[in-house]
Amino acid sequence: MAQQTEQVELMAEKRTALGKRVKQLRREGWVPGVMYGRRFDPVALQFDTRGLEHVLSRVGGSQLINIKIKGTRKPKSTLVRDVQRDPVKGTLLHVDFYHVDMTERLTTEIPLAIVGESPVAKQGEGLVLYGISAIEVECLPGDLIDAIEVDLAELVEIDQAIYVRDLAVPAGIDILTDQDETIVHVVLMKEEAEEIVEEELAEVEGVEVITEAGEEEATDEE
């Protein structure tokens, strides 16, 4: 099931502080940013830190954000393209928004939302392995969705998997990711554990791995 995109609005002001002057801007509670796009002249902007943090905590890269610039009448439809944070404090340093034309198709990623629980995993018989967490798509901006749900309850047998080709997406969205990419795969718990142990032992010099057949495999040439 697809999660529909909600309307999100963000207030902004045009920015005149550039270069080294943005440090003072941050101290005053603003975050510098820029809006750019195809056939769209870049605009330097500044955002209230609290308001921007609130919006970023609610949206993903596939969700449209309507930026209302002070002094203008019509909001601009955008997508978050890059968020820079202080590596130590985690505070916002800069944010890039991509201006989208609602009449032109674009390429972006939609995250996969894992829900439910596999019956065999719940019973302790299977272990769920995870593959990709997002898919690349092409569509009109208005057709974008927040996420695509992947229900683990569909994994009712050992060695069962859900692939990209199994996803149900709304009309108008074309999936660009390889259809054979694995999203989730449930394997036998015992086999997975034994494989992990063997791989770890094989990395230790001089250790021999003894298989169930009683054969010894030397992990280090003598």
Would you state the pLDDT for residue 39? 87
Model pLDDT for residues 134-143, shown as the tens digit of each residue: 999 999 999 9
Q: Where do the domains of the chain lie, and which CATH numbers do they carry?
A: 2-99 (2.40.240.10), 106-209 (2.170.120.20)
pLDDT on residue 122 = 87
Return phi, psi of residue 165, to 5°. -65, -15
Tell me the pTM: 0.73
pLDDT of residue 18: 87
Task: Using 50 as the pLDDT threshold, list the residues of the chain that sit under it.
Answer: 212-213, 215, 217-219, 221-222
What was the pLDDT predicted at 222?
46
**What is the predicted pLDDT for the residue at 77?**
94
Could you give the percent of the chain with pLDDT greater than 70?
82
Write the CB contacts of 171 (distance below 8 Å, at least 6 apart in sequence): none
